[in-house]
């Protein structure tokens, strides 16, 4: 245990004249390298953004695919810049980087076991990208539970923004099923339950009049709306008529809401009460 006398002796013998300049030099180097790598990162990101912008203007390429590749390249570049920045800072602080690298074989097994998940994520991410299973901007359902729009696709994570605005971060290796709702037209089915004594012919005529009025105003609806009924709903066993139409991907929610509201208002005006 260091006594007060020994501590005082150590304090007096400490080379304060060399420690001060050495510490100042180290701080200045760290500050300089931090600014330098910040500029390097900004310059590389600027060149990547500009290159992708020029490439997309001069060539016919899927915009969503280009945005996905763009995000992936930017993330990879940042990881590389951060790695060299940390390497440089450790060198300035006096860590024996060469010795650490030479002796890295001792911890290779431990690090390898810990990095297995990351490696699986990266491989899965590249496979998803190369097979074009989904791209930035697509509306998808992941593993049958998480739905929303792909806002970011990285080396390890895929970010999905749901209808409530929440961001869901999903590791690429955990993705087993992708339902991509942005590749084809989507089917919208609207079921209108009716009372048992309702005049179904009048209800169908009212729904058809709504379709004739709204369809010309909604070019996102592909083709015509098909009216089916009367039929029985399987879950509630109620009498109903169903309207089926196909819309461009991403517009199904708006179309469903607009047409359903118009159907209900029109039926109510005709004196047709719903259960």
Give yes or no for a contact between 206 and 272, defined as CB atoms under 8 angstroms apart: yes
d(CA 160, CA 151): 6
- Residue-level pLDDT at 3: 55
d(CA 269, CA 202): 12
What's the Cα-to-Cα distance from 122 to each of 48, 84, 85, rounded to whole Å? 21, 20, 22
pLDDT tens sequence for the chain (275 residues) = 445 555 555 555 555 556 567 677 788 888 888 898 899 888 888 888 887 777 666 555 566 667 767 777 787 788 888 888 888 888 877 776 666 555 555 555 555 555 677 778 878 887 887 777 888 888 889 998 888 888 888 778 889 998 888 999 999 889 989 888 777 788 888 888 888 887 888 888 988 998 888 888 888 888 888 888 788 888 878 888 889 988 887 788 888 888 989 888 888 888 887 87
Six token digits for residue 26: 């180290």
Query: Among 1.10.3720.10, 3.30.70.100, 3.40.630.40, 3.40.50.300, what is the CATH number of 186-269?
Result: 3.30.70.100
Burial class (CB in 10 A: 0-12, 13-18, 19+), 66: middle
Query: Which parts of the chain are beta strand (E)?
Result: 139-142, 146-153, 157-161, 167-171, 178-180, 186-194, 221-232, 239-247
* Class of the CATH-defined domain 116-180: mainly beta
Tokens 């159907």 found at: 263
Secondary structure, 3-state, 156-225: CEEEEECCCCCEEEEEHHHCCCEEECCCCCEEEEEEEEECCCCCHHHHHHHHHHHHHHHHHHCCCEEEEE
Give yes or no for a contact between 212 and 189, defined as CB atoms under 8 angstroms apart: no
């Amino acid at each position: 245990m260091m006594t007060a006398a020994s501590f005082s002796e150590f304090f007096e013998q400490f080379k304060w004249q060399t420690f001060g300049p050495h510490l100042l030099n180290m701080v200045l180097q760290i500050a300089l390298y931090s600014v330098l790598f910040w500029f390097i990162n900004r310059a590389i990101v600027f060149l990547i953004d500009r290159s992708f912008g020029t490439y997309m203007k001069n060539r016919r390429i899927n915009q969503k695919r280009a945005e996905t590749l763009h995000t992936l390249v930017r993330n990879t570049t940042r990881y590389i810049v951060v790695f060299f920045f940390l390497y440089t800072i450790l060198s300035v602080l006096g860590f024996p980087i060469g010795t650490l690298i030479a002796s890295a074989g001792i911890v290779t097994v431990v690090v390898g076991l810990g990095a297995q998940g990351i490696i699986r994520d990266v491989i899965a991410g590249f496979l998803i990208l190369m097979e074009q299973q989904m791209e930035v901007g697509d509306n998808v359902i992941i593993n049958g539970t998480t739905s929303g729009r792909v806002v970011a696709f990285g080396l390890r994570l895929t970010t999905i923004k749901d209808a409530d605005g929440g961001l869901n971060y999903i590791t690429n290796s955990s993705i087993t099923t992708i339902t991509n709702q942005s590749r084809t037209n989507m089917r919208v089915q609207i079921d209108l339950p009716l009372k048992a004594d309702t005049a179904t012919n009048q209800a169908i005529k009212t729904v058809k009049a709504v379709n004739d009025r709204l369809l010309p105003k909604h070019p996102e609806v592909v083709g015509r709306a098909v009216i089916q009924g009367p039929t029985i709903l399987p879950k509630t066993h109620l009498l109903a008529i169903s309207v089926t139409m196909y819309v461009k991907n991403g517009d199904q929610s708006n179309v469903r809401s607009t047409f359903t509201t118009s159907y209900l208002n029109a039926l109510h005006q005709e004196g047709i009460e719903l259960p």
